[in-house]
Amino acid sequence: MKNSWLLAAAVAASFVSAAQAPAQAATKFEFWHGLSGDLGERVQEACKKFNDSQKDFEIVCVSQNDYAATLQNTIAAYRAKKQPAIAQIYDAGTLDMMLSKAFVPAKKLMADNGYNIDWSNYFPGIANYYATASGELLSFPFNSSTAVIYYNMSALEKAGVTAKPETWEDVADAAKKLKAAGFDCPMAFNFDTWPTMEQFSAIHDQPIASQANGYKSLSAELVVNKTKFIDELKFFKKMQDDKLLVVKTKQLGMDPIPAFASQACQIAMSSIADHGTVGKTIAEGVKWDVGMLPVFKGTERKKSLVGGASLWVLAGRPAEEYKGAAAFLNFIAQPDMVQWWSTVTGYIPVTKTGFEAMKKNGFYDKAPYKGREIAIASLSLTEPTENTRGIRLGNFTQIRKEVSTAMEAIFMQNADIQKEIDQAVERSNVGLRRFEQTYAGEKLN
């Protein structure tokens, strides 16, 4: 009897113990990103939505403050075997990641974890930037954008301009009328190479580098000192000399978009991702609009380039973390999340189903969001050419810095345009050769 009682007590205790035992802890994994401020808060909100949607995984989202730091910190962490499961890497770091082999390809990750993804659902104009030559996506397009131009239509109408300018010549004419109407800063300008060199070159079908902008070989060389990019800089320099264009930078107190939103300047080039910021900060009642980045008259416009970043899943993490990463990536790709992300940030939907769902819901008919569809039209305007698919160059962050520094000398010190860009190209090509030597023998897929 005693033994039976002990057995019964043990069984009862086991049930009590099981009832009191905590549920199995959720698998925790990290996501490093390069966004801060309002956009950084939106990333945190997306992570919270995922965590609240299920109990198996907990994503911990950590801002690295900016894109360049995220790339550098991710590389350092991988070498120290302390890498996150997911890292947001900007467009300029794509080749660095591809050649690092420190990642799990997107297709493999999702297939291994039971997700059947229609990869053709991603807009080609977005996906091609992050895909191999054969079209296989290695990372997941996330916060995508393209360059556009913002117009203060209230100011333009006051100056006698009733339609949005479509060519750079039209922009210069509008700027002259704005100046005559008493506006001190018709157009804001800074030294960002993304709209001025990269996007300009694409829509004018001009190469940035040889070897199909680097897609064909690591032997690519920068060639922007021999293209219409020089003509563009001459055009903008004349606008500056005529006081139709004013340099606006953080160092001088205000970047172009804050200058535009505050109505200090009436025209500004920037990302479609700034659409939400303008809508939130421009004075109520001011009519403003957005258009595709202008081309020179007589140009057969081509598609623009995607900007922003993609999400890379890093190698060397436990299998359970990959299950969580796959679940998160699947979660943020759902149409309702795609619409939410576009609504709160200004970034564009990366999938066709997401875009179609947003159109069906009347998203682009609503005043705060009207105009954002122009970015999709710009990215999808034509079939990709060797000059419009994207840019696949090593040390591209440094290349951007070299050209930006040259532009600063041109517009702030009246330096010779051709000479400055020649020197920037020469320095950039030294970096490209160094990158090629680092990855000697590697072939691009």
Q: In this predicted model, what pLDDT tens digit does every residue of 129-181 receive, in sequence order?
A: 888 877 888 999 999 999 999 999 999 999 999 999 999 999 999 999 999 99
User: What confidence score (pLDDT) does residue 134 get?
Assistant: 78
**Using CA atoms, how far apart are residues 81 and 93, in angstroms rounded to an integer?**
20
Biggest distance spanned by C-alpha atoms of the chain: 106
Q: Are residues 41 and 139 in the same domain?
A: yes
**Using CA atoms, how far apart are residues 358 and 364, in angstroms rounded to an integer?**
7
* Boundary-marking domain end, from 331, 350, 379: 379
* Boundary-marking domain end, from 328, 345, 379: 379
> Which of 409, 185, 166, 197 is CA-nearest to residue 289?
166
The answer to whether residue 13 sits within a structural domain is no
The answer to whether residue 114 sits within a structural domain is yes
If you compute the radius of gyration of the chain from its CA atoms, what whole number of angstroms results? 25
Other beta carbons within 10 angstroms of residue 17's beta carbon come to: 9
Q: Are residues 52 and 131 in the same domain?
A: yes
Q: Are residues 270 and 346 in the same domain?
A: no
User: What confidence score (pLDDT) does residue 22 get?
Assistant: 54
The answer to whether residue 335 sits within a structural domain is yes
User: What confidence score (pLDDT) does residue 128 get?
Assistant: 85
Q: Are residues 109 and 55 in the same domain?
A: yes
Q: Are residues 138 and 157 in the same domain?
A: no
Structure tokens that stand for 260 in this block: 């535009």
Structure tokens that stand for 3 in this block: 């033994």
User: What confidence score (pLDDT) does residue 343 get?
Assistant: 86
Distance of CA 128 to the CA centre of its chain: 14
User: Is the distance from CB of 203 to CB of 303 less than 8 angstroms?
Assistant: yes
User: What confidence score (pLDDT) does residue 23 get?
Assistant: 58
Q: Are residues 399 and 424 in the same domain?
A: yes
Q: Which residue has the tokens 């922003």?
A: 308
Domain range enclosing 353: 27-145+306-379
Q: Are residues 72 and 128 in the same domain?
A: yes
* C-alpha torsion sign, points 193, 196, 201, 202: positive
Residue type (1 letter), 313: V
DSSP string, 360-384: HTTGGGSTTTTTTHHHHHHHTSS--
* Boundary-marking domain end, from 379, 407, 425: 379
Q: Three-state SS for 244?
A: coil
User: Is the distance from CB of 195 to CB of 269 less than 8 angstroms?
Assistant: yes
User: What confidence score (pLDDT) does residue 445 get?
Assistant: 67
Q: Which residues of the chain fall short of a pLDDT of 70?
A: 1-23, 445
The answer to whether residue 7 sits within a structural domain is no
Q: Are residues 277 and 315 in the same domain?
A: no
Q: Mean pLDDT for the chain?
A: 91
**Using CA atoms, how far apart are residues 334 and 182, in angstroms rounded to an integer?**
49
Q: Are residues 135 and 32 in the same domain?
A: yes
The answer to whether residue 389 sits within a structural domain is no
Q: Are residues 261 and 399 in the same domain?
A: yes
Buried b (16+ CB within 10 A) or exposed e, 377-388: ebbbeeebeebb
The answer to whether residue 132 sits within a structural domain is yes
User: What confidence score (pLDDT) does residue 61 get?
Assistant: 97
Q: Are residues 258 and 210 in the same domain?
A: yes
Total of domains in the chain: 2
The answer to whether residue 49 sits within a structural domain is yes
Sequence-separated (6 or more) residues with CB below 8 Å from residue 241: none
The answer to whether residue 241 sits within a structural domain is yes
DSSP string, 183-205: -S-SEEE---HIIIIIIHHHHTT
CATH code at position 115: 3.40.190.10
Q: Are residues 168 and 202 in the same domain?
A: yes
User: Is the distance from CB of 348 to CB of 145 less than 8 angstroms?
Assistant: yes
